[in-house]
Chains A and B, each alone.
Chain A
Amino acid sequence: MADLAAMVAAEVLRLVRRRGLMAWMVVLTVGVVCCYYGLFAVQHAIDARHHQPAGGTRSMYHLVDNFGLVVSLLAILIGATVATADVSSGVFRDLVATGRSRLVLFAVRVPGALIVLLPAVVTAGVLAGVGARVFAGGLPAPSVGLIAHYTGWLVAGAVVDLALATGFAALTGSRSITIGVLLGYEAVVTPLLHNMTVLGSVRQWASGAAVARLEPFSGAPYPVAMSVGTAVAVLVAWTVLSLALGAWRTATRDA
């Protein structure tokens, strides 16, 4: 157990020492939230008649709804990095030569990446909630429960996207291909699938639709109708499938 903890700590070390990636993580989480409220707060301060207060429940909904894609991008960046860093640097060969199981070498990547990613996502979610309350003015402010729900939803989406990226990157062995393909899937394919009603219930199997179903209800209909149970099952299936494929490739690839 101590060995596994040390291996997870080694994964964390590898990620946090990447200054560029860490800078992007701060910008895409705390930076985005601060900019959002900062911009609208200034607008409201300058012209309160035409600009509502920056906070409030509706404002938080708009922020977090769009913030989901930003968190996906971050999870994909970190997942693709953690899964390919050893192979691209040639370190994977030396780690395999220690006799350590390849499956263990793969498995420790996910908790290592989560330890780095989730504090940033949770901080951003909480900051979004705090901002919505602080800048609410006379508008309805989100409850602590709603903030927790939004934050939990961001975390769930991040975990699924991280698993997808880690598994897919291990499968392809390429960071750039993984980022390109998964960003295309999240930003282009998923919205298209949502609108292709001709596909009917098949659309339930898109991970993006399942993630959207778990978002706190805002009054607008969900892109694809499904039960919460179905959404959770779809996300678990995507997570397990992608990690299984990544583990299989890690175990079988020439080092």
Chain B
Amino acid sequence: MVVSGDDLAIRARALRKCFGARVAVAGVDLEVPAGTVFGFLGPNGAGKTTLIRMLLGLTRASDGHAWLLGLPVPQRRTRALARVGAVVEEPGFHRYLTGRENLRIAAAARGGGAGERIGGALERVGLGDRADDRVGRYSLGMRQRLGIARCLLSDPALLILDEPVNGLDPAGIREMRVLIRSFADEGRTVFLSSHLLDEVQRVCDRIAVVDAGRVVAQGATEELVGADALMIEVADSRAAAGVLAGLPLVRAVDEVRDGVLRVRVFDIGQATALLARELAVAGIAVHRLEAAPASLERAFLELTGRSGAER
């Protein structure tokens, strides 16, 4: 997918952050298309939060450039952040104040019409009836939702959510998932940082995988998780691999085990029939041919080089 600069909600070029001799973010290039739910996936300590903090101007980049909604940051961060809502790590609140009062403080900093959106934002995240309780009495899930409500005060074109489902129970995770998808349905861009593979796979249109401060892969979720692969069980896997490797629709052929091939293709719709026909023409008996189960976990472990360590 080729995206022009104007259609990008977030763009980073060679963005770098060092803490002394330690490199936390090592020259990240990133493109987040507007209107998508974009997963920023990486293990703990990979540099996800540091990158977000640089984008939001919470910490200075050591080098590189970044743009939010087409505006360079930090040079024009005030204008850019006026349409950005962000929750970085666990959202912070004054626990002795009520949820509504906390939003009043955030709305005062936001200015504009933010104060008028408080009621609607609280209702949207399901906290309307608890808005006048002290935040100290809120559960973690309620605080996460209040953090999202705070984001909505700016009527954001871009939401940056850092680990929004951390510590939530399954029901809370499901509610958060529905909420995130509803933002995308409204045309907002959601940048979702997480180490939870399943959540990212379920909710995101596109994904970037970050490891040791570098983006090691980015693209459409289907591409990255391997929804472009077929599992083929044949009588002679060696001969079949030779036939398939020469076809233009085939990207790669791997022998998973004796007699079973995993074939990555460019267009899975066309490839299924074509591969079956080519193998038949070559006289190779096909016992089974089906789409390979898509697994972000497998892709993630391969991309971050952790699969070997776990074997």
A residues near B (Cβ < 8 Å) are 3, 6-7, 9-10, 13-14, 17-19, 85, 89-101, 105, 254-255
Which residues of chain B in 75-93 are interfacial with respect to chain A, using CB atoms and an 8 Å cutoff?
A: 77-82, 84, 86-93
Residues of A within 8 A of B81 (CB): 97-99
* A242 vs chain B, min Cβ distance (A): 24
Check A94–B108 contact: CB distance below 8 A: no
**With A98-B81, A99-B77, A255-B58 in contact, do A10 and B105 touch (Cβ < 8 Å)?**
yes
Please encode chain B, from 159 to 175, with 1 for each CB lying within 8 Å of some chain A CB and 0 for all others.
00000000000000000
Check B80–A97 contact: CB distance below 8 A: no
Check A100–B109 contact: CB distance below 8 A: yes
Total A-B contacts with CB atoms under 8 angstroms apart: 93
**With A10-B104, A13-B101, A254-B59 in contact, do A98 and B95 touch (Cβ < 8 Å)?**
no
Dominant SS among interface residues on chain A? helix
- Measured between alpha carbons, how far is A92 from B102 in the docked complex, in Å? 12
Nearest chain A residue, comparing its CB with the CB of B87 = A94
- 19 residue pairs of the A-B complex, CB under 8 angstroms, read A3-B111, A9-B108, A10-B104, A14-B97, A17-B101, A85-B94, A89-B93, A90-B89, A91-B93, A91-B94, A91-B105, A93-B92, A96-B56, A97-B58, A99-B77, A100-B78, A100-B110, A101-B78, A255-B58
Check A17–B96 contact: CB distance below 8 A: yes
Check A254–B58 contact: CB distance below 8 A: yes
Check A98–B92 contact: CB distance below 8 A: no
- Measured between alpha carbons, how far is A89 from B90 in the docked complex, in Å? 11
**With A3-B111, A99-B82, A255-B58 in contact, do A94 and B94 touch (Cβ < 8 Å)?**
no
Check B94–A99 contact: CB distance below 8 A: no
Which of B80, B97, B108, B154 meets A3, CB within 8 Å?
A: B108
Nearest chain A residue, comparing its CB with the CB of B147 = A94
Nearest chain B residue, comparing its CB with the CB of A102 = B57
- Measured between alpha carbons, how far is A97 from B95 in the docked complex, in Å? 20
Check B57–A96 contact: CB distance below 8 A: yes
**With A13-B101, A98-B81 in contact, do A255 and B59 touch (Cβ < 8 Å)?**
yes
- Measured between alpha carbons, how far is A40 from B120 in the docked complex, in Å? 57
**With A3-B111, A13-B105 in contact, do A89 and B58 touch (Cβ < 8 Å)?**
no
- Measured between alpha carbons, how far is A38 from B294 in the docked complex, in Å? 81
5 further A-B contacts with Cβ under 8 Å, apart from A6-B108, A94-B150, A99-B77, are A14-B94, A17-B96, A90-B89, A98-B81, A255-B58
